[in-house]
Structure 1
Amino acid sequence: MKDKRVNISDWIIYIGMICIFVVFTIICSALGKQFLTLNNVMNIINQASINAVVAIGASLVILTGGIDLSVGSVVGFVGIFLALRLQEGMPIPAAIILCLVLGAAVGLFNGILISYGKVPAFIVTLGSMQAVRGLAQIINGGQAVSGFPLEIGAVMKTKLFGVIPIGVLYVIVFYAVMILILSYTKFGRRIYALGGNEHAARLSGIKVKKLEVAVYVLCGIFAAFAGVMLLSRLLYADPSAGNSYEMNAIAASVIGGISMSGGKGRLANTVAGAIILATLTNGLQIMNVATYYQTVITGLVVIVAVFVDKRKERKAE
């Protein structure tokens, strides 16, 4: 009986995603607007793919019992930095690799201060969020960047079979790799162990500090690649790009069932969380709901997700 309940709970997020699609389809049809079309579904998936990539790193950090508020700033900084490098004529592959290194450097900075400096993750990543956002303003005097080679658009504007956005492929590959790592490697099992009980993890021989640093580095790399994806999609770099991405990534993780207490949750469900958020935004935009109401509704969805998560934890105890 217990196994059946666990299986049902694993599918709740996907049932909820389907229900949201059905609700928006009905409401939009009643308003004379189209929601459930192939083009719009592909648009939702394309929108969700960037947040889904950021959410991989966010989920890994949350699984260890930490948090990273700097990922949105990394997305914005990488966009500006990449656009400037492309203007200077740097080859696209080299520029992207350099951006990933910068993302890793931010994660390394966060991880060292948190693990070795014993500074709370919230404080460290809040500070780096502001610092990296400031750097995004500084490197081009607060101005947006355009006029770089449009070939960078191939990173996101390419379509598989002429229909499916290539962002879907990134999500599938990244999630497949990380799910395999979390499920079948010592590194993955240690992440869950660290989030479940740091003291016990240390006593069992896990090098907690190095593990934490590694997770924050991975988080920075995924955020940096999301910055590349965003620039490729918009073909325009703005210092304010990436605002609220950290909250959307955390929201996708929480809605997907990653416990904010750490050590519990399935990374696969984070994708569904990202799609739910993208669907909410898309559907509300089609219905011409003002942006501030969209923010309120998204916030309420996150609160409900956290409330349900805490109730599960209390029942388990």
Structure 2
Amino acid sequence: MKMKEEKKGQEGSFGKFFQQSGTTISLVIVYIIICIIFTFLSEYFLTVKNFLNIGTYASITGVMAAGVTVAMLLGHIDMSQYATLTIATMTVALMLQKGMPAGLTILAAAAVGVLCGTINGGLIAVFKIPGIIVTMGTMQVFRGIAYLTTNGNTVMIHDSSFGFIGKGYVFGTIPFCIVLMAAVFLIIAYILKYTNFGRKIFAVGGNEQVSYLSGIRTGTVKFLGMVISGVCAAAAGLITCSQVGAAIPSTGTGSEMEVLSAVILGGVSLSGGKGKISGTVIGVLILATIQNGMTLLSLQSFYQMIINGSVLILAVLLDVIKSGALKRE
């Protein structure tokens, strides 16, 4: 009898471990399978240079996804990230045109991220408006401001030192934008796992009412979470305009769902309170690798749209299955 209880306890422990890490393990397996498939389909896929290209391509989406992860853990969706990114790029480009130092423009971009996040967070925390509604509105407002700033014209960037952010290399081999993306992910991971604020994010996202009754200032937590999302969008803007060498008002138009797809695919629940930043990392890599593989195979953009849309549907479907919503019907 005692042996049976011990065995049952061991099985329970294993089940608990698998439940906690199963999503990440599954995603890693999926990623390996995708890499194997593209290795057979293209001779250029399995090379160090190509994987660095994947990392470079993923850096913009990855930095934004880190911020969206925080917002979604709170139960909100930030649709305004690309618009925030665009305002940040416009700010940087216009300041560089006036001869201001690159360091100052980076601080200005961060300030733009804080401002946009403050607007989103304030509307969500004070007026209790759902995040998706708020950010769909501010997405249009921020995008309009970006167009008005330059009358819809592209602003070129000629500062060579600023170009290091998106096109520079560390130790002559690793793109700096990959290092920056990794740093952002590590910072967010530390906040979520080791700080009191991180624990409050999960608590508020899991059950806001209970969190409020337990003494957590839920409005403040949601406000700061949206500010983090805004700052991440601005950081992604620095990489974007540095890589392109210009600030374009239409940057990211129609690509808003790409970031959300990566986060949802990574296992972050749409309802909030559940998910890991490690899952987001793998979700970003999966989407970037699929995009890279399709490009190597020279697939038409129409097919790429179909595949990207299918991945989004699959990601949401997985979230529904994991939440147990189908069982409750």
TM-score when normalising by structure 2 = 0.91
Aligned partners of 1:132 and 1:9: how far apart in 2?
35
Return the alpha-carbon distance in structure 1 between the equivalents of residues 157 and 264 of structure 2: 38
1:152 aligned partner: 162
Residue 63 of structure 1 is matched in structure 2 by 73
TM-fit CA distance, 1:298: 1.1
Q: In structure 2, what is the Cα distance between the partners aligned to 1:90 and 1:175? A: 29
Alignment of 1:23-62 (within 5 A): 23-29=37-43, 34-62=44-72
The structure-2 alpha-carbon separation of the partners of 1:147 and 1:113, relative to structure 1 and needing over 3 Å to count, comes to closer
TM-score (ref. length: structure 1): 0.95
**CA displacement at 1:244 relative to structure 2:** 3.8
Unmatched tracts of structure 1, length 5 or more = none
Which aligned pairs between 1:1-317 and structure 2 lie closer than 5 A?
Answer: 1-6=14-19, 7-29=21-43, 34-314=44-324
Determine the C-alpha separation between the residues in 2 that align with 1:306 and 1:131: 28
- Equivalent residues of 2:165, 2:239 under 8 A apart: yes
The one-letter code matched in structure 2 to 1:24 is: F
Q: Does structure 2 conserve the Cα–Cα contact (< 8 Å) formed by 1:115 and 1:213?
A: yes
Give SS of 1:152's match: coil
User: Match of 2:136, SS?
Assistant: helix
Aligned to 2:39, the other structure's residue is in SS state helix
* Distance (whole Å) between structure 2 residues aligned to residue 259 and residue 77 of structure 1: 29
Per mean C-alpha deviation after superposition, the further-off stretch among 227-236 and 244-253 is 244-253
- Aligned residue for 2:27, secondary structure, equals helix
Moved more, 98-107 or 112-121: 112-121
Q: Work out the percentage of aligned pairs sharing the same amino acid.
A: 36
Structure 2 residue matching 1:150: 3-state secondary structure: coil
RMSD over aligned Cα, in angstroms?
A: 1.5
Contact 2:24/2:278 (<8 A) preserved = no
| Local SS of the residue matching 1:127 | helix
The residue matched to 1:202 in structure 2 has which SS?
helix
Asked if structure 2 preserves the Cα contact closer than 8 Å seen for 1:72 and 1:244, the reply is no
Give 1:166 shift: 1.2
Bigger Rg, which one: 2
Tell me the CA shift for residue 149 of structure 1. Answer: 1.6
Contact 1:150 1:235 in 2 (8 A): no
Q: What per-residue deviation string (whole Å, max 9, x for no partner) do you get for residues 146-178 of structure 1?
A: 153232111122212222111221122221121
8 A contact 2:192–2:199 mirrored in 1: yes
Q: CA deviation at 1:4?
A: 4.5
- Give the 4+ runs in structure 1 shifted more than 4 A: none
Amino acid corresponding to residue 269 of structure 1 in structure 2: G
Residues 87 and 112 in structure 2, CA contact (< 8 A), matched pair in contact too: no
Distance 1:259 1:287, change over 3 A: same
Could you give the per-residue CA deviations for residues 192-245 of structure 1, whole angstroms, max 9, x where no partner exists?
001101111111101011111101111100100100111111112211112244
8 A Cα contact 2:96 2:157, kept in partner: no
CA offset at residue 8 of structure 1? Answer: 3.8
> In the alignment, is the contact (CA less than 8 A) between 2:23 and 2:279 conserved in 1?
no
- CA 1:147 to 1:174, structure 2 compared with 1: closer, same or farther past 3 Å? closer
Tell me the SS of whatever aligns to 1:69: coil
Alignment partners' CA distance in 2, 1:202 and 1:77 = 34
Asked if the contact 1:84–1:148 (Cα under 8 Å) also holds between the matched residues in 2, the reply is: no
